[in-house]
Structure formats: structure tokens, C-alpha cells
Chain A
Amino acid sequence: MDTRSRILSRIRQALRERPRALLPEHPHPALSQDPLELFLKRLAENGAEGHLLDEEGVRRLLANLAQGLAGAAYGKGVPAAFRLLPELPPEEAPLGVSRALFAVAETGTVALSSEDGRKAQLLPPVHLVLVGEEKVYPSLLEAFLDLKSLPSALGLHSGPSKSADIGQVMVKGVHGPGRLVVAVLQGTW
């Protein structure tokens, strides 16, 4: 017998007399708060910066972030209108810009697809994420129940990279970006 069959057969033997526990249903929580408002609040609590902006506002935010920078690394989904800086490889870029698949209000999270590209999300010290306001789910549960297909990797980012492993002192930007800026775009996008 191979390892797989041995392990599975031992499990079946172990479970022969075990009562079978039922799988509980998912709960149906209703969020009382406005998801957009809660999302921005949670982002701030996570140490990230959140802005609710129209297209012009995003361009102003980008121009602001871009000051003095030589270029940026872009995710595939970032529209040309928001590529204000020359493109640089993510290994060298001082700024990464990506477009989120969705966001979650209760945890202050942006969900980033590997289809958008992973390096721009992780290597530059500053990360700007664009997300449409209609993509902000109230809760993680609603987002997961609604997901129809999954990319090869989905990254949930809820703030800047941090660690307290050195003497219990919180340090930001340990491996990933030390600064996370999220722009929620008003209107359909």
C-alpha cells in the first residue's frame, strides 16, 4: 500500500465509531454601518491611508505621491489615465500602483489578484491601491460567498508591512511596503 492509501485507511478506521458532526450554516450578519465609511475608518486603524475620490481626485493624489520620484511599477489593471510616471521595474520602483479586485470594510482590506502582478504590490516601499466603490464588500463573508473564480493567488492586504519581532517594538516596512495608500474611486469604473 502507498502512503496515501495508508493514511486514508487509518483515518477511515479512526472515524468508524466516531459520531459525524454537522457542518454549521454560514451566519447572515447585517452591517449597520455604511460600508464605505467603515472601510475608510478601518484602513486608518490599520495604519493605512484611505481616500474616497473621483477620477480627478485620484490624479491629484497620484501627482502628489509622484513628487520627486523617477517612476513607478504598475499592476496590469491600472488604466493608462493613472500612469503618470514612467514605468520602472518593481525591484527599483519607489512606488507601486495596483488595482484591487475588491475590498472589505469590516477588516479594512484590499484584495489583490496575481493577474494584476505581484511584484508591484510587494517590492516598492510605497503602495497605492485603486479600488472601485462598488467593489467594497461590507464583510469578508459576503466577499467570499460572492467570489466566482479565483486567481492563482489572491493577496489580502490590510495595512503596511509590520513586525514587532525585535524587542516588541513595532517596525513598519519590514519586507513589504511601509506605506499603504488606498484610493476608492467614486462612480462606476
Chain B
Amino acid sequence: MGVKAKLYPKEAARLLREKPGVREAVTGATLHFEQGRKKAYGEIDAEAWRERAKRVKDHLLSHLDHYLELAEKRLREKGVQVHWAEGPEEAHRILREVVARHGVKRAVKAKSMLTEELGVNPLLESLGVEVYETDLGEYLIQLLGEPPSHIVGPAIHLALSEIQRLFHGRFGTPLDASPEALAAVARKVLREAFLTAELGISGANFLVAETGTLALMENEGNIRLSTSLPRVHVAFVGIEKLLPRLADLALFLPLTARAATGQRLSTYVSLIQGPSREEEEGPKEVHVVLVDHGRTTLLHDPEAWEVLRCLRCGACLNACPVYRQTGGHPYGYVYSGPIGAVLDPGLLGLEDTYPLPYASTLCGACYEACPVKIPIPKLLLTWRNRAVERGLAPTWEKGAIKAFSQVMQSPSLYRLFSKALRGLPLPQDLLPLLKAWTEGRGPLKPSPKPFHELWQELEE
């Protein structure tokens, strides 16, 4: 997938103009996910779970070399073929060899963000391999030729009517076919693909170093089928996806499910230890490709490395008021929303991803949602500071950001400034910076009382 992050404001504006239905579909879906997450967090001591998960991930990341070597050893002991890849080029070479050796004509794919990063589908297509995305949402966007717009729900930007039109054109189903009827058609097509594919491709939610276990979470059963029916299974795993111990899954599987969809556990979890044994159903050959693609650069970064804790649950997208307006496409890369705004600059460089760190109101909802406590608002400011330092952002911003962060970090300064702002008459025409805002709106009128006072009154 090409990186189009630089176009963010234009793309966002265009989408809102040309496809107004997207806002409704995305807002509806994300609010639903967000309510689920809140309810699921409410059932547990969420703060304690998040803190423990953060600490396990920090331990893992600060001993990453050790755990990668341990995972590799355990995987090899179980008969898994382990490969390492810097990025797309090497990943493609590994996959090309597997395709050639097994004469692969058809592949079934489990949803995986890393394979989006690596451009696995275009490669397979160029080799003449028929690729089926088997997650229902991912299958829909594959039929439409679109990239995923959400980490967990890749097709949440599509209204039912669009899917009905798509299936009508493609499979001749009635224009008012029910979701059940549409799903039944997809099931039929994909069941045939599962039973005839020579190759199954997946990512991994986790790779347990202690046991060499690949852990994959889903609700549909397509991942279990993709990793069970074809003769060969290739899993692409980002090097940050490791966990130290098998029992750590008892924390991370339910925590990820709660954060992502509000479930106590996803309907299906596959824990894969290697190729099937004698007289057993399942793939005879399993490959694990450990992929860097920018992750070691992030690990080097004294501030931005914390983003490597990310579990790809999508909770921060669902919590984000900015993401809800347009969905993921305008962000222009695989990872969208708040996590994309801090992960993409780390993986691809700030030059290619500016102005994504500005795609946020800094409201902090993403941090509250994050199951591993990634300080996304802090990291957004880190990237904004760097943008100013590297001359990517307008120069006036340098002073403004510095002043802003000083004020925001000191409660007494914050009170002083907000009081001053409320008391002073705002010279509207002297604020050219606000031109874009004031053009379409009335003059700015500060509230007579600060928010925390209003909130207190409300509570009373």
C-alpha cells in the first residue's frame, strides 16, 4: 500500500464532501465498539490489568533480543521454519519460494495488518496466485479494491446498502438481501476457497517465546480454517509481537478482546505450536517470518519506542472524535486513528507522514482506552515538536507549542492563562492564525466560566 499520509487534510475534507455516509457509518460502528469496551473494562480492575500488561510488554521490549532468540529456538524445535525479514523485499522473496516450491495456485488469508504493510496481496497476484481474504469485512473491501479503514473492523465505513449493491453486481443477490443472506453467499464462496487452497497466510496477535506458540484471535472461524485446511501455513509476525510466557496469554487474550470488541474473549483463539503431527489433520509445513520493517528504528527512539507495546486492538480509533469523522482512509497508511498518528511517523519517518500527528484534538480519550497505556497524546506532542524542529511545521508553531506545553503542564499557569483569556477582549482581526476558523464561524466568545467549574456545578 502506498503512503499517502501527506494528503491527510485534503483527503479528509474530500471524503466528508463526497461520501457523507462514511461519517454516519463510522461513528455508529465506533460508538458501538466504544460502549462495548467501556462495559468490558467496567467488569474488571481495568487499571490493574492495563498496568500489568504495560509492564509485561516493557519487560519484553527491554529484553527483545533474548526473547526473539528463545522464540526462534522453540519454533524450530517444533518443526517450524523460521525466517527473518527487514521489510517487503525479503518477505516477498520468502513467499515467492514457498509459492514456487508448492506450486501454489490459490491462497486463503486471515486478516493481518502486517501483510498490508508488506503488500502481500499484490505480490501473490503478480505471481498468478488467486488470493482470498477470508475475514468477512476484509473480503468486502477486497472485492471493492479498497484498503482497510479500521484495524479491527476493516469495512466499518460501508453502509449495508453499499454491500447490498456490491453483492448484487457480483453475485446477483437481490438489492434488499439481508445481512444473513449476504453472509451465506460469502460463506459459500470462501468455504470452497478454504477447501481448495494450497496456502494459508496469517499474521499473529502474539508469539509466545517460552513455548513458540502463535496466538491468533477472531470471531468468524476463518483464521482457524485458514491455518488448518491448506497444506502450508505462513505467518508474518512483527518482532514486537512477542510475549514472554504462555500464561501471559491469560492476561493478553482477554484484555485485547475487551479493548477491541468488548468481549471477554474472542470467539476463536488459535494457539499454534507447529505443523500437524503424523496422522493428524492440519498443515504439514509451517513458516514464521519475523519482520522488522521499521520496528528496530522505533526501539532506538528514546521517546517514541513506547508505541511498540501496541496490541492492534483498535480501541483508540473507536474512542477518537477525529477518527469518527472520516474513518481510516484519509490517514493514508495501514494504521489510522490515534495509534496511526504516532506509529506511522515511527515506521515510515516524519517527512512522509506529516501532518498525521496533528490529526487529533489531544482530548486524551485514546490513552484512557489503550490496554497497554501507550501515552498517545504525549507522543503526538513529541512528533509535533519534531515537525517544528525539522521545519515541517510553520515556524510560529515552535513558540506556540512550547508555550502551550508549559501552560498545560502546570495547573497554576493553566488557570492563570485561561482566566486571562476569558477576561481579555479577543482582538479577532489580530489573530491571523485563526483566520481559517473565523472565516466560517462567528467571532470567538470564551465561556464566562472555566470547564472545571462548569463540571463541578453539573455534578452538584
Contact = CB atoms under 8 A, between A and B. Distances in A.
Interface of A: 2-4, 6-8, 10-15, 18-24, 26-27, 42, 46, 91, 106-109, 114-115, 117-119, 121-122, 139-141, 143-145, 147, 150-169, 171, 173-177
A20 B269 CA distance: 31
Contacts of A20: 59, 62-63
A163 B64 contact: no
A114 to B, nearest CB: 5
Nearest to B134: A175
Contacts of A164: 153
B137 A165 contact: yes
B309 to A, nearest CB: 11
Contacts of A122: 221, 224-225, 228
B268 A155 contact: yes
Contact of B264 (A106, A141, A152, A162): A106
A121 B227 CA distance: 13
B155 to A, nearest CB: 6
Given A119-B228, A156-B270, 19 more contacts: A3-B86, A12-B65, A13-B300, A14-B300, A20-B63, A21-B58, A24-B59, A118-B224, A140-B250, A141-B250, A152-B282, A156-B268, A164-B153, A166-B163, A171-B180, A174-B183, A174-B221, A176-B225, A176-B268
Contact of A14 (B153, B155, B194, B296): B296
Contacts of A15: 62-65, 299
B82 to A, nearest CB: 9
B16 interface: no
B28 interface: yes
Given A3-B86, A119-B228, A165 B140 contact: yes
A152 B56 contact: no
A120 to B, nearest CB: 9
Contacts of A109: 265
A114 B254 contact: no
A158 B267 contact: yes
Contacts of A12: 65
Nearest to A48: B267
B276 A114 contact: yes
Most B-side CB within 10 Å, residue of A6, A42, A144, A177: A144
Contacts of A154: 270-271, 273
A-B pairs, 10 with minimum CB distance = A176-B221, A167-B160, A165-B137, A141-B250, A21-B58, A156-B269, A175-B221, A165-B136, A140-B250, A169-B179
A133 B191 CA distance: 34
Contact of A118 (B65, B219, B228, B275): B228
B280 interface: yes
B29 interface: yes
Contacts of A91: 195
Given A6-B86, A8-B68, A166 B183 contact: yes
Contacts of A13: 300
B328 interface: no
B29 A157 contact: no
B69 A8 contact: yes
B190 interface: yes
A122 B224 CA distance: 8
Most B-side CB within 10 Å, residue of A109, A163, A164: A163
19 contacts: A2-B84, A3-B84, A11-B239, A14-B296, A15-B63, A107-B254, A114-B280, A119-B281, A122-B224, A150-B211, A152-B78, A152-B274, A154-B273, A156-B265, A163-B219, A165-B155, A168-B29, A174-B220, A174-B222
A147 B267 contact: no
Contact of A11 (B159, B160, B264, B296): B296
B220 A114 contact: no
Contacts of A14: 296, 299-300, 305
Interface stretch (B97-105, B241-249, B434-442, B445-453): B241-249
Interface string B33-64: 00000000000000000001001101101111
Given A46-B267, A161-B219, A175-B225, A153 B272 contact: yes
A176 B224 contact: yes
B253 interface: yes
Given A152-B282, A176-B268, A145 B163 contact: no
B120 interface: no
A150 B221 contact: no
A122 to B, nearest CB: 6
A157 to B, nearest CB: 6
A174 B276 contact: no
A12 B86 CA distance: 16
Given A11-B64, A20-B63, A153-B276, A175 B220 contact: yes
Interface string B190-216: 110011000000000000000101000
